[in-house]
Amino acid sequence: MSVTRDAVLETLKQVKDPLGGGDLVSAGMIRALTVDDGVVRFVMEVDPKRAAEVEPARAEAEARLKALAGVASVSAVMTAHAAPAAPPELKPQSAKAAGPAGPQKIPGIDRILAIASGKGGVGKSTVASNLATALAAEGRRVGLLDADVYGPSQPRMLGVSGRPASPDGKTILPLRNHGVTLMSLGLMTGENEAVVWRGPMLMGALQQMLTQVQWGALDVLLVDLPPGTGDVQMTLAQKAEVTGAIIVSTPQDIALLDARKGIDMFNKLGTPILGMIENMSTHICSQCGHEEHVFGHGGVRDEAAKLGVPVMAEIPLDMSIRMAADGGTPIVVSHPQSPQAESFRMIARQLIADGNA
């Protein structure tokens, strides 16, 4: 059994931050953590002037991780990084303070794709991280904005941690891994901090994420939306010019029913629906290869036909997809040649061919 990402983080939390009172994880020193089949990699970002003080902690972290069951190798590298200023706090803002009305083109960002689902847990975030890395593999400049306020999961799925820096106190530097520039509401609030977001606060926070994050020039920004039809979806469509929405659903009736509500909402907001992705389509047993339709089959295809939107892909329910996501390296990166990765790469190529990414 290979080690889990959570076990690695727990171990790193036992190592004291030599520059402050807390531990390496809460100090935000651990960056780009990936855990893949027992291979643990991360970098520690340290002010070069203080590197010597931090080295014993780096060595201790490496030694503790090597002693963990299921760890094959550990690579812990220190990188020079000038002491970051604290990023600006996300403060509640009134709708007025949140900027001008009407959808705006965000400078530097050519296209925005919303990844949505009617219901939680259908694999929307898994699809978003794999799609982002697949687009990056095709040479696109890709950003991923994790706006899932109820359960921001992209930092874990893309193997990034720590609080983003803000050298000037105004703009926020996003994080980057696997060729994807990432910003997440989760990175601004701390992993275990429960945040109750209310409408106006969300509008301000989302606006900040879109306009104050230094995304650089992007061909496409994917926005991983919270499930359902709420304030974030409305705000995004009202504030930014969204190229289109992709709806992720499982073949189950209930998930489909919820997806329908999502489609209705995007129609009302005037956001084009580019297509639906059926996730957890069939289950292929990792032992015997037997194929089973755990959540039914063909539901998404029938529904999409009724609604006149294309089905972009049917992604199987597959253990390797979950393990890759949990380890911080999406399957598109960890096993690029696998049929599972190919399903995501096919969607990426289609989006590019249609001029949508």
Q: Are strands 30-36 and 39-46 parallel, antiparallel or unpaired?
A: antiparallel
Q: Shortest approach of ligand ATP to residue 157 CB, angstroms?
A: 7
Q: Which residue stretch of 24-32, 73-81, 102-110, 320-328 sits at the interface with ligand ATP (rule: CB under 6 A)?
A: 320-328
CB nearer to ligand ATP: give 124 or 140.
Answer: 124
Query: Is 170 annotated among the ligand-binding residues?
Result: no
Cα(45)–Cα(199) distance, rounded to whole angstroms?
35
Query: Is 125 annotated among the ligand-binding residues?
Result: yes
Query: Is 120 annotated among the ligand-binding residues?
Result: yes
CB nearer to ligand ATP: give 15 or 236.
Answer: 236
Q: Which residue stretch of 72-80, 95-103, 183-191, 314-322 sits at the interface with ligand ATP (rule: CB under 6 A)?
A: 314-322
How many CB atoms within 10 Å of residue 15? 23
Q: Map the footprint of ligand ATP across residues 114-133, applying CB under 6 A.
A: 117, 120-126
CB nearer to ligand ATP: give 244 or 251.
Answer: 251
CB nearer to ligand ATP: give 11 or 126.
Answer: 126
CB nearer to ligand ATP: give 5 or 111.
Answer: 5
Q: What character string, x for contact with ligand ATP (CB under 6 A) and - otherwise, covers 267-296?
A: ------------xx----------------
CB nearer to ligand ATP: give 5 or 124.
Answer: 124
Give the one residue of 206, 247, 315, 347 binding ligand ATP; rule: CB under 6 A.
Answer: 315
Helices (H), the chain: 5-13, 51-66, 124-137, 154-157, 185-189, 199-211, 231-239, 253-269, 299-307, 319-326, 331-334, 339-353
Residue 133 DSSP symbol: H
Query: Is 121 annotated among the ligand-binding residues?
Result: yes
Cα(262)–Cα(281) distance, rounded to whole angstroms?
20
Put residue 270 in one of left, alpha, beta given phi > 0 → left and psi -120 to 50 → alpha. left
Q: Shortest approach of ligand ATP to residue 321 CB, angstroms?
A: 4
Cα(285)–Cα(109) distance, rounded to whole angstroms?
41
Query: Is 75 annotated among the ligand-binding residues?
Result: no
Give the one residue of 11, 26, 34, 153 binding ligand ATP; rule: CB under 6 A.
Answer: 153
Output the 3-class SS for 234-277.
Answer: HHHHHHECCCEEEEEECCCHHHHHHHHHHHHHHHHHCCCEEEEE
Q: Shortest approach of ligand ATP to residue 198 CB, angstroms?
A: 19
Question: Which residues have a Cβ under 8 Å from the Cβ of 308 and sit 6 or more positions away?
Answer: none
By three-state DSSP, how is residue 71 classified? Answer: coil
Query: Is 118 annotated among the ligand-binding residues?
Result: yes
Cα(259)–Cα(217) distance, rounded to whole angstroms?
32
Nearest to 311, CA basis, from 234, 254, 256: 256
Known binding-site residues for ATP equal 118-125
* Interacting residues with ligand ATP (CB under 6 A): 117, 120-126, 148, 151, 153, 227, 279-280, 315, 317-318, 321-322, 325-326
